[in-house]
Structure 1
Amino acid sequence: MVEIIRNLLWTGDIASSIFILALVLTIGVLLSKIRLGGFSLGVSWVLFTGIFLGHLGLRLDPQVLSFVRETGMILFIFGIGMTVGPGFFATFRQGGVRLNLLSLLSILLSLIVSYVLYRVTQTPMATLMGILSGAVTNTPALAATQESARAVGSAALGDVGIGYALGYPVAILGMILTMSLLKWVFRIDVPREEKEIEERERAAHKDAVVYTLEVSNPWMDSKSVYESKSVLEKYDVVISRIMHHDSGEVEMAGPKSIIRLGDRLMVISDESDKETICAFLGREVPLVEPEWITRGATDVVSHRCLVTRDRINGKSIGSLKLRSLYNASITRVYRAGVYLMARPELLLQVGDTVIVVGHEEDVKHVEQVLGNSRKTLRQPNLLVVALTILIGVLIGSLRIHLPSMSMPVKLGFAGGTLVTAILLSNFGTHFRLNTHNTESANHMLRELGIALFLACVGLSVGESFVEKIASGGLVWMGYAALMMMIPLWVTLIIGRLCLRLDYFSLLGYVAGSMTFAPALSLTPDATKNNIPSVGYATIYPLTLFVRVMAAQWMVLLVS
């Protein structure tokens, strides 16, 4: 057994690579369970484990290491993109412009610090850009710097990668320190901010509410549902059922249904419109749903139903013609924690929960049309994973030619995958593409991807890490700290004190401005809601692009 383990650790073949990766992951994940004073390094332990084992001499084949590292990052980015994608554009409109401007200011400040160091220390600009690439964990910027240094024949080409390797751990430690100090420096009450954010989101989203009205407006007597809705056409309102006061029977409300004084109406509308609708139709009375279901001979029921059939994905509610075909109606749609009005033009998505109202047999028919199979939703959607990565790698490989640049720039695999995931999760339904995946499947891809990435980074720099520090690398690490911490904290202070950004947006800003998605795992606060992930995804594409362009521009500027 000892001989087998020795061979697996030192032979360098495929089995050895898999064994070493599994060893790094196992030790790193076990160490991530350690908490000191309520704080844990989390998945960062995988990086430090990789550095330690790399220092001991464990190696992966360079091609295997490169493949696993990039694949891990792509999987992680896919999970992030699909999680934050549905709310990305709404969030960008609400606060994304401010976050992006703040990130651009951070980039400008880092370039100013780099130029000052260049003038004061006479360190080659290519080396400084390598250090900066590590200090902001931007691997595409490293590649761009190396390509630019090679094009201008810089003598510092060999130091670019060393600078990156020394700057990278500084960035990790800097982000851990920053995220742990944020709430202490700004005296943030996390539970209070969570509550404020929940209240703000509740006010921003117009959730559908259900209530009962007793008709008291004389104008409504003997009017049809169609006539009443034509008067209220500027409001999103659905009259679902009518309880006739003379007979007590419940009727499914169709366009031709007649409303009389004293009738009770079950109404669904946006909460903000409720007061106006009540003022027009009549007075609100207590909603007792069992009465609507049991009274009368109509046997009206209200069931929740899951949309699970692929052929329904991307179809509008109106195009299904449920009222005319099955005498049943969808009154509300529950998606991503929010009730939506069942407007005819609303496109259904696989994973939606809809409220179907009608006779029991008719509702069962509608359930068959929509699917209503929880088992189907539990199955992972491998097609969307493969398609997103396919398109993402293609987009990331495109060369973008810019004026005054001697060579094209690229988004890279991670940037291309993030952009694709956000676009597909938002617009996939327009092309009848099912982008739904289980939350557990997305979470597994994220965790596995980032663990593989950090393990490979640690193993790649571990061999010469201590030697580089001992031979003057501490000075370069000091440069990295200045390049990272000065711009980051200046913009964090501006963001908190001037722009009044909340704590969770600041966490997302740190990860996005550093183009380091794993930062979302450095503190438990970043996983309490989706705001940090959305903030990261909002500024990542532009920040990545500008950092890559700036690295090339700085090398060419002083050559």
Structure 2
Amino acid sequence: MELLHDLFFGNDAFWGGGVAHSVLILALVISAGIALGKLKIAGVKLGVTWILFVGIAVSHFGMRLEGHLIHFVKEFGLILFVYSIGLQVGPSFFSSFKKGGVTLNMLAVAIVFLGVIVTYVLYLITGLPITTMVGILSGAVTNTPGLGAAQQAYSDMTGIDSPDTAMGYAVAYPLGVVGIILSMMAIRRIFRIRFDEENKAMTDWEQGGSSREAVRISVSVKNPFVDRKTVLQIKRLINRQFIISRVLHENGHIDIANAQTPLTVGDRVLIVTTTDNIDFIVDFIGDRIDMDKEEWERLDHQFISRRIMITKSKLNGKHIGELKLRSGYGVTVTRVNRAGVDLIPNHGLQLQMGDRVTVVGSEASINAVSKILGNSMRRLNEPNLIPIFVGIFLGVVLGSIPIMFPGIPQPVKLGLAGGPLVVSILISRFGPHYKLVTYTTMSANLMLREVGISLFLACVGLGAGEGFIETVVYEGGYRWIGYGALITILPLMIVGIFARKVLKINYYTLMGLSAGAMTDPPALAYSNGVAGNDMPSVGYATVYPLTMFLRILTAQLLILCVA
């Protein structure tokens, strides 16, 4: 019994009860929290956030870790979490500002800053410490990195930790998840939204939104002006983005096209282009004909089509034109698939590790090209640890640089949350341009992220458990739930009504916007279930990178400017 007591509650003769005690408590909190996170409450799962509540519970009953150990594990877990998030969202961070993404991101920015304004007004009215209010804000918007950034900023400024920040987060979080969903339901009821109308709008959006993805068409050459002109000459005349993959001559002979292949009237060609270019290309060359992929494959039985994966690190960042696959190996690259999207393989397209290129040619030629490109899943499964730890090193350095702003008494630091996030976004986006291999499999990224957030939440809970019940029950902490509800619902309703009434944004996209502006996966899961399509996910992914960055930054600014 004494051994069990020492394991669970520690022993003063050892540092925090010893290594065995520390590992046991962390493992207990994390495993129990993850198990509870699989349960649904009113149809909603809180996921890994249960780790925080389990940590609070075991800490309340006396199971705690040594203070320095908690601080180290918490900060290291936070670094792993935000760095893996940056690797995931980095490639889409800058592209999310293009076209319709600008509008969605501006709406998300409005939600973020309205939440900050509501928090500051409540701080002035209630007289609660700003550390508590920032914790309530982070919980109300379900943003754990913001919690970490606020705690770290306060610790850097004062040299002490603030457990009331974690308490505010834990109290406000559950209703934060529910409040997001309630806001979505309220918007639907206010505008009497009908899903059949939204589905029609979604169809129209998809037809326009897919205009940049690669499609295959068959065309019969009819225009005398292109007779005997080469593919290169035609491309210069049209000045549109397309690839002519194969040419079927009138005599039944079929060729893999290259830049010097001539077209004659009567030829039939297989073209890969984008939806918005189809009409122009067809009108210039001839008439569109109905020949599907299977017909072409039956005709060119001497050729094969294969999808090859880029797994050689020396190809990372190279342009397709540099490989000279047509002239050197007699094969044609017809598509490049990156993250599930088919891209037009023009000469200037930069390749990245993990890209899947579709090539057409003879079997011998394709086998040779496979060796050139790699096509080895084993290489992708090997982790590229150097960019990860170099990025973390640079992120910690960047996060430690003080930045002075006029009117702010204390210098602002990106901290251990913001620094690694910024560096990981930049590395994942621009690394391939400088031959830096940043590719990690989705499973590896998810493992890194989940380990980091689990360690962070466990330590936050273990550090906040002492006095948590007394604060909530006897010191007015129950009122924090109402404050959190206001911070959650008011910005979502104001922006949601404006977006729907003035900007006429599709309800499915609006649900994704709301979930993304609150960086809340449970709300996204609910949105996807209601919509039955991927539009909420598109809206979520569009605003998530910028929102995550702003949540981390504004949490720190509130602490530094007001505390």
Corresponding letter in the other structure for 2:149: P
Which one is further off, 350-359 or 186-195?
186-195
Alignment-derived partner of residue 7 in structure 2: 8
Corresponding letter in the other structure for 2:177: I
Contact 2:320 2:347 in 1 (8 A): yes
Corresponding letter in the other structure for 1:209: V
Alignment-derived partner of residue 137 in structure 2: 136
**1:353 matches 2:361:** no
Corresponding letter in the other structure for 1:494: I
**1:70 matches 2:61:** no
Distance, in Å, in 1 between the alignment partners of 2:166 and 2:298 is 71
* Partner of residue 262 from structure 2, selected from 219, 239, 258: 258
Q: Structure 1, residues 401-444: CA drift from partner, whole Å, max 9, x if none?
A: 12233321111111112212221221111011112111111122
Distance, in Å, in 2 between the alignment partners of 1:6 and 1:40 is 33
Q: How does 1:165-180 map to 2 (within 5 A)?
A: 165-180=166-181
Contact 2:177 2:522 in 1 (8 A): no
User: What is the deviation of 1:492?
Assistant: 0.4
Alpha-carbon distance change, 49 to 243 in structure 1, aligned in 2, over 3 angstroms: same
Alpha-carbon distance change, 427 to 194 in structure 1, aligned in 2, over 3 angstroms: farther
Distance, in Å, in 2 between the alignment partners of 1:198 and 1:510 is 27
3-state SS, counterpart of residue 467 of structure 2: helix
Corresponding letter in the other structure for 1:552: L
* Partner of residue 214 from structure 2, selected from 193, 196, 208: 208
Alignment-derived partner of residue 107 in structure 1: 116
Contact 2:315 2:353 in 1 (8 A): yes
Alignment-derived partner of residue 514 in structure 1: none
Corresponding letter in the other structure for 1:176: V
Corresponding letter in the other structure for 1:226: L
Alpha-carbon distance change, 525 to 444 in structure 1, aligned in 2, over 3 angstroms: farther
User: What is the deviation of 1:24?
Assistant: 0.9
Corresponding letter in the other structure for 2:135: G
Which one is further off, 34-43 or 369-378?
34-43
3-state SS, counterpart of residue 499 of structure 1: helix
Alignment-derived partner of residue 144 in structure 2: none
User: What is the deviation of 1:6?
Assistant: 2.8
Q: Which runs of 5+ in 1 are unaligned?
A: 118-122, 151-156, 512-518
Corresponding letter in the other structure for 1:14: V
Contact 1:226 1:255 in 2 (8 A): yes
Alignment-derived partner of residue 505 in structure 2: none
Distance, in Å, in 2 between the alignment partners of 1:386 and 1:198 is 44
**1:507 matches 2:515:** yes
3-state SS, counterpart of residue 39 of structure 2: coil
Contact 2:154 2:162 in 1 (8 A): no
Alpha-carbon distance change, 180 to 524 in structure 1, aligned in 2, over 3 angstroms: same
3-state SS, counterpart of residue 45 of structure 1: helix
Distance, in Å, in 1 between the alignment partners of 2:271 and 2:148 is 55
Contact 1:250 1:292 in 2 (8 A): no
Alpha-carbon distance change, 289 to 539 in structure 1, aligned in 2, over 3 angstroms: closer
Q: Which runs of 5+ in 2 are unaligned?
A: 11-16, 139-146, 501-508, 529-533
Corresponding letter in the other structure for 2:450: E
Alignment-derived partner of residue 452 in structure 2: 449
Contact 2:166 2:461 in 1 (8 A): no
Alignment size in residue pairs = 525
Alignment-derived partner of residue 50 in structure 1: 55
Alignment-derived partner of residue 328 in structure 1: 331
Distance, in Å, in 1 between the alignment partners of 2:6 and 2:405 is 50
Alignment-derived partner of residue 226 in structure 1: 232
Distance, in Å, in 1 between the alignment partners of 2:97 and 2:165 is 31
3-state SS, counterpart of residue 58 of structure 1: coil
User: What is the deviation of 1:64?
Assistant: 1.5
User: What is the deviation of 1:309?
Assistant: 0.6
* Partner of residue 462 from structure 2, selected from 459, 464, 486: 459
Contact 2:311 2:374 in 1 (8 A): yes
Alignment-derived partner of residue 516 in structure 1: none
Distance, in Å, in 2 between the alignment partners of 1:521 and 1:331 is 39
* Partner of residue 381 from structure 2, selected from 357, 375, 378: 378
Corresponding letter in the other structure for 2:315: I
Corresponding letter in the other structure for 1:260: T
Alpha-carbon distance change, 423 to 522 in structure 1, aligned in 2, over 3 angstroms: same
Distance, in Å, in 1 between the alignment partners of 2:222 and 2:510 is 46
3-state SS, counterpart of residue 176 of structure 1: helix
Distance, in Å, in 2 between the alignment partners of 1:551 and 1:10 is 34
Alignment-derived partner of residue 492 in structure 2: 492
TM-score (norm 2): 0.86
User: What is the deviation of 1:274?
Assistant: 0.8
3-state SS, counterpart of residue 308 of structure 1: coil
Alignment-derived partner of residue 548 in structure 2: 540
Alignment-derived partner of residue 311 in structure 2: 308
3-state SS, counterpart of residue 400 of structure 1: coil
User: What is the deviation of 1:49?
Assistant: 1.0
Corresponding letter in the other structure for 2:174: L
User: What is the deviation of 1:287?
Assistant: 2.2
3-state SS, counterpart of residue 460 of structure 1: helix
Contact 1:39 1:523 in 2 (8 A): no
Alpha-carbon distance change, 146 to 328 in structure 1, aligned in 2, over 3 angstroms: closer
Alpha-carbon distance change, 103 to 354 in structure 1, aligned in 2, over 3 angstroms: same
User: Over the residues paired in the alignment, what is the CA RMSD in angstroms?
Assistant: 2.8
Which one is further off, 201-210 or 184-193?
184-193
Contact 1:508 1:535 in 2 (8 A): yes
User: What is the deviation of 1:360?
Assistant: 2.1
Alpha-carbon distance change, 80 to 378 in structure 1, aligned in 2, over 3 angstroms: same
User: What is the deviation of 1:250?
Assistant: 0.9
User: What is the deviation of 1:383?
Assistant: 2.7
Contact 2:180 2:489 in 1 (8 A): no
* Partner of residue 24 from structure 1, selected from 3, 25, 29: 29
Alpha-carbon distance change, 522 to 368 in structure 1, aligned in 2, over 3 angstroms: same
TM-score (norm 1): 0.86
Q: How does 1:462-477 map to 2 (within 5 A)?
A: 462-472=465-475, 474=476, 476-477=477-478
Distance, in Å, in 2 between the alignment partners of 1:485 and 1:347 is 47
3-state SS, counterpart of residue 214 of structure 1: strand
Percent identity, aligned pairs only?
Answer: 33
